[in-house]
Amino acid sequence: MDVPDAGERAIGIRLARRDEAALQEAYERYAPVVLAYVRRYVGADEAEDVLQRTFFDVWRGAARYDPNQRFTGWLFTIAHHRAVDALRARKHAVVDVEAVRDLAGEDGRETADRFADAADVRWAVARLPEHERTVLEMAYFAELTQREIAARLDVPLGTVKARASRGTRRLGEMLRAEEEGER
């Protein structure tokens, strides 16, 4: 078990005695790091609210602080619980079926076909030789130009062009073979 730092311990003990100055000191000392911590879970929009609920609970539950524990451990446990509460309280949006039907066609086949096509392409891309796959991923997913790819990979522009050409040709062959195998 970590031995609590004297300053931490003193804040916790003073809080347990309902010393409002200790709450202010704890807030000034730890709020920035607690805010950064909860932002990782709930995002910037909700982080301030979670921070305030955390320190409210610190004040409300100060009598439960054990001076043999690290104050920051106790504080971050409370912050974690408040962040989880915030995530659980989120309401998931209800999707309007009519709006989806307009986007995907009456029976949703267009969407299903797009997902199936994307899965086939991912399967084929994963089977390309690494040097070709890397060039195609940088071009299509990172949206880099062939000059930018050449610079990042530290290879000649002609090499990038050849890898892109061979990769797309090989990709097309694999997808055609996959499609013919389904018929």
**Predicted confidence (pLDDT) at residue 85 exceeds the cutoff of 50:** yes
Position with higher pLDDT, 116 vs 122? 122
Q: What's residue 180's pLDDT?
A: 75
Distances (CA, A) of 78 to 26, 56, 110: 14, 10, 47
Q: pLDDT tier at 108 (50, 70, 90 boundaries)?
A: very low
How many C-alpha atoms does 46 have within 13 Å on its Cβ side? Answer: 18
Structure tokens at 37: 């911590």
Rounded to 10°, the helix 6-16/20-42 angle is 110
pLDDT tens-digit map of 156-170: 999 999 999 999 999
Evaluate whether the domain defined by 6-89 bears CATH number 1.10.1740.10. Answer: yes
* Rg value, the chain, Cα: 28
CATH 3.30.70.100 fits 108-182, yes or no: no
Which of 115, 116, 132 has the alpha carbon at shortest distance from 171?
132
- Confidence (pTM): 0.49
Q: Where in the chain is the domain with CATH 1.10.10.10?
A: 108-182
Confidence label for 55 from pLDDT (cuts 50, 70 and 90): very high
Tell me the DSSP string of the chain.
-PPPPHHHHHHHHHHHTT-HHHHHHHHHHHHHHHHHHHHHHH-HHHHHHHHHHHHHHHHHTGGG--TTS-HHHHHHHHHHHHHHHHHHHPPPPPPPHHHHHHHH-TTSHHHHHHHHHHHHHHHHHHTS-HHHHHHHHHHHTS---HHHHHHHHT--HHHHHHHHHHHHHHHHHHHHHHHHHH-
